[in-house]
Amino acid sequence: MKKINLSGAGIGLRRGLVSPFQSYGDLNPVQFMEVAPENWMTVGGKAGKDLRAFAEKYPMVLHGLSLSIGGPDELNVAFVKALKKFKAEIKSPIYSEHLSYCTDGGQLYDLMPIPFTEDAANYVAERVMRVQDILGERMALENVSYYLTQPNPEMTEIEFINHVISKADCLLHLDVNNIHVNSVNHRYDPLKFLDQLPTDRIAYIHVAGHYNEAEDLIVDTHGAAVIDKVWNILEYTYKNYGVYPTLLERDFNYPPVAELLAEVSRIETLQNKYTQNHESQQAII
SS (H, E, C) the chain: CCECCCCCEEEECCHHHHHHHHHHCCCCCEEEEEECHHHCCCCCHHHHHHHHHHHHHCCEEEECCCCCCCCCCCCCHHHHHHHHHHHHHCCCCCEEEECCEEECCCEEEEEECCCCCHHHHHHHHHHHHHHHHHHCCCCEEECCCCCCCCCCCCCCHHHHHHHHHHHHCCEEEEEHHHHHHHHHHCCCCHHHHHHCCCHHHEEEEEECCCEEEECCEEECCCCCCCCHHHHHHHHHHHHHHCECCEEECCCCCCCCHHHHHHHHHHHHHHHHHHHCCCCECCCEC
- Measured in whole angstroms, how far is the alpha carbon of residue 88 from the centre of its chain? 20
Name every residue whose Cβ is closer than 8 Å to that of residue 24 and which is 6 or more positions away in sequence. Answer: 257, 258
Handedness of CA 235, 240, 241, 242 (dihedral sign): positive
So what's the pLDDT on residue 108?
A: 58
Q: What is the pLDDT along the chain (285 residues), one digit of tens a residue?
A: 778 889 999 999 999 999 999 999 999 999 999 999 999 999 999 999 999 999 999 999 999 999 999 999 999 999 999 999 999 999 999 999 999 988 777 775 677 889 999 999 999 999 999 999 999 999 999 999 998 788 889 999 999 999 999 999 999 999 999 999 999 999 999 999 999 999 999 999 999 998 777 677 787 878 899 999 999 999 999 999 999 999 999 999 999 999 999 999 999 999 999 997 777 788 889
So what's the pLDDT on residue 190?
A: 98
- CA trace torsion 252, 185, 198, 222 (10° rounding): 0
So what's the pLDDT on residue 81?
A: 98
Q: 270, 234 in Cβ contact below 8 A?
A: yes
Over residues 57-109, the pLDDT tens digits come to 999 999 999 999 999 999 999 999 999 999 999 999 999 999 998 877 777 56
Name every residue whose Cβ is closer than 8 Å to that of residue 165 and which is 6 or more positions away in sequence. Answer: 141, 171, 172, 198, 201
Fold of 9-275: TIM Barrel (3.20.20)
Name every residue whose Cβ is closer than 8 Å to that of residue 77 and which is 6 or more positions away in sequence. Answer: 130, 134
Over residues 121-149, the pLDDT tens digits come to 999 999 999 999 999 999 999 999 998 78
What are the boundaries of each domain within the chain?
9-275
CA distances to 85, 153, 155, 164, 171 from 160, rounded to whole Å, are 31, 10, 6, 6, 14
